[in-house]
């Protein structure tokens, strides 16, 4: 249970003119990386069908939130953005530049001196400075663009470990993103961090604890995990499910979990390989329980990072399952928090070129096929099925239209057809949705620029 504010502290705050809440203020931001509106719709149907229904009438947990807005996702210098520019906008209130993390938008990509001269304070840094508990959860690498945007400042999102930072930038004083996490100096440090990405923190001669044939990526010989452990009292580090299960939430101390050398496994693959790492629901539950045991309140960012990666691979099955799992994490967060003192926001950093088309009947498997009307079609294409889901570009392109009559398009490894050949499918530039509930959520409405999400989050956290 949370401690009550003492009478003396209450009197002091009243005489100082400070607003007082009987309970701490908490903000949880769920960020579905690449979770555009077509992804939300398809995931809704998929979740409903997994539950045994037709799907179209299903309701995701975050779709019950009473406050909704459409969010413009452009970057300073791009019509279609990346995750660094968009999450930087959410975290700082300033439009981001393509590929750049939390630096004034006047600074060009790869400009190390400019980045050092003009960093922008993030919401998580501000929360730490104000005495809040803070946390990061991601199914991607901790140093990947979205989680990195909560704590790092870099002229390039690619500078995840030291070997990726150009020698000239090193001489000018720029350091890699993994090192920035370990050297984070705001407040008393981030209380809970759970993600993938061990290899960015380990030296090139250090074998991975789970995969002995793999090694770290750092060329400076440093073991940043050990450095993190040694730089604070009572810190705990875990890297697999058994160690994670042994953690006791809410007992104080800072926790770091890095569960894969790179990104965490897709949910579909995690289940098939023995579940040796926690899923996003379990990570969310631990993070909330660990952070909620404090008078001041907390800020927690939770990223469903692999939605984006599956879309880049033209693989709708994994993208939709990742979205469903993030929604289940949202549902668990609702159960664990008090709507009177906790605002939960769910949004995306950008969309993808992912479409839902044709005229399939109600309840048709969302990963399945549909045989179109034959009127007006070329004779050779009559009665030939095609998938409801497709991509405008990506690795699913085929020079000749495929015959899917004997293909299982619901197979998790199936890649949906793409209209233009690319090794990696691209982001989409249309608006994404934001959903919010709890104190301060009423500020989220209309059609807004992405940087305005910062205002909503900050106002809820700091009672502005």
Look up the CATH architecture of domain 31-60+67-352+426-462: 3-Layer(aba) Sandwich (3.40)
Give the mean pLDDT of 408-425.
98
Quick check: 69 and 456 in contact, CB under 8 A? no
- Predicted local distance difference test score (pLDDT) of residue 21: 42
Categorise residue 282: left if φ over 0, alpha if ψ from -120 to 50, beta otherwise: alpha
How many Å separate Cα 61 from the centre of its chain? 17
Return the bridge partners of 236, or none.
Answer: 255
Quick check: 416 and 316 in contact, CB under 8 A? yes
Quick check: 83 and 350 in contact, CB under 8 A? yes
Nearest to 28, CA basis, from 255, 288, 283, 340:
288
pLDDT in tens, 172-205: 999 999 999 999 999 999 999 999 999 999 999 9
83, 85, 154, 351: which is the annotated catalytic residue?
A: 83
Could you state, in order of their start, the residue ranges of all structural domains in the chain?
31-60+67-352+426-462
The pair of three-digit structure tokens given for residue 225, joined into one six-digit string: 């995990």
pLDDT tops 90 at residue 378: no
pLDDT in tens, 267-319: 999 988 878 999 999 999 999 999 998 778 999 999 999 999 999 999 999 99
Label residue 15 by pLDDT band (50, 70, 90).
very low
pLDDT tops 80 at residue 416: yes
The pair of three-digit structure tokens given for residue 189, joined into one six-digit string: 């440090």
Residue with tokens 């693959």: 269
CA distance 348 to 83: 9
Label residue 401 by pLDDT band (50, 70, 90).
confident
Nearest to 73, CA basis, from 32, 110, 111, 109:
32
- Predicted local distance difference test score (pLDDT) of residue 181: 98
Is-catalytic flag, 83? yes
- Predicted local distance difference test score (pLDDT) of residue 16: 36
pLDDT tops 90 at residue 459: yes
pLDDT tops 90 at residue 240: yes
pLDDT in tens, 65-120: 999 999 999 999 999 999 999 999 999 999 999 999 999 999 999 999 999 999 99
Label residue 7 by pLDDT band (50, 70, 90).
very low
């Amino acid at each position: 249970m949370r401690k009550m504010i003492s009478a003396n502290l209450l009197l002091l705050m009243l005489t100082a003119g400070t607003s007082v809440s009987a309970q701490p203020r908490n903000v949880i931001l769920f960020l579905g990386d690449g979770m555009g509106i077509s992804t939300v719709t398809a995931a809704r149907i998929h979740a409903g069908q997994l539950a045994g229904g037709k799907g179209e009438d299903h309701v995701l947990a975050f779709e019950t939130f009473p406050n909704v807005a459409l969010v413009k996702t452009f970057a300073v210098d791009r019509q279609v953005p990346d995750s660094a520019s968009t999450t930087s906008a959410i975290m700082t209130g300033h439009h981001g530049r393509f590929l750049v993390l939390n630096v004034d938008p006047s600074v060009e990509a790869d400009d190390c001196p400019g980045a050092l001269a003009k960093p922008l304070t993030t919401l998580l840094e501000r929360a730490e400075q104000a005495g809040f508990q803070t946390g990061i959860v991601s199914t991607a690498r901790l140093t990947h663009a979205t989680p990195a945007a909560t704590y790092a400042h870099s002229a390039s999102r690619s500078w995840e470990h030291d070997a990726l930072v150009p020698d000239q930038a090193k001489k000018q004083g720029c350091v890699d993103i993994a090192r920035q996490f370990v050297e984070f100096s705001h407040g008393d440090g981030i209380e809970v961090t759970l993600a993938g990405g061990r290899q960015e923190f380990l030296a090139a001669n250090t074998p991975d604890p789970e995969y002995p044939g793999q090694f770290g990526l750092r060329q400076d010989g440093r073991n940043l995990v050990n450095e993190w452990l040694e730089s604070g009292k009572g810190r705990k580090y875990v890297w697999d499910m058994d160690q994670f299960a042994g953690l006791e939430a809410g007992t104080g101390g800072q926790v770091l979990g890095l569960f894969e050398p790179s990104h965490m496994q897709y949910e579909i693959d995690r289940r098939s390989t023995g579940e040796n790492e926690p899923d996003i629901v379990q990570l969310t539950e631990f993070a909330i329980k660990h952070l909620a045991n404090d008078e001041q309140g907390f800020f927690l960012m939770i990223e469903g990072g692999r939605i984006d990666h599956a879309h880049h691979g033209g693989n709708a099955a994994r993208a939709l399952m990742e979205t469903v799992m993030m929604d289940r994490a949202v549902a668990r967060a609702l159960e664990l928090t008090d709507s009177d003192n906790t605002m939960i926001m769910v949004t995306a950093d950008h969309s993808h070129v992912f479409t839902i088309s044709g005229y399939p009947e109600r309840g048709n498997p969302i990963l399945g096929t549909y045989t179109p009307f034959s009127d007006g079609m070329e004779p050779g294409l009559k009665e030939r099925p095609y998938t409801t889901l497709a991509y405008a570009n990506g690795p699913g392109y085929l020079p000749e239209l495929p015959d899917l009559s004997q293909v299982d398009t619901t197979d998790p490894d199936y890649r949906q057809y793409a209209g233009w050949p690319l090794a990696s499918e691209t982001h989409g530039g249309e608006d994404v949705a934001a959903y919010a509930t709890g104190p301060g959520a009423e500020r989220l409405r209309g059609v807004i620029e992405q940087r305005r999400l910062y205002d909503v989050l900050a106002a809820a956290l700091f009672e502005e």
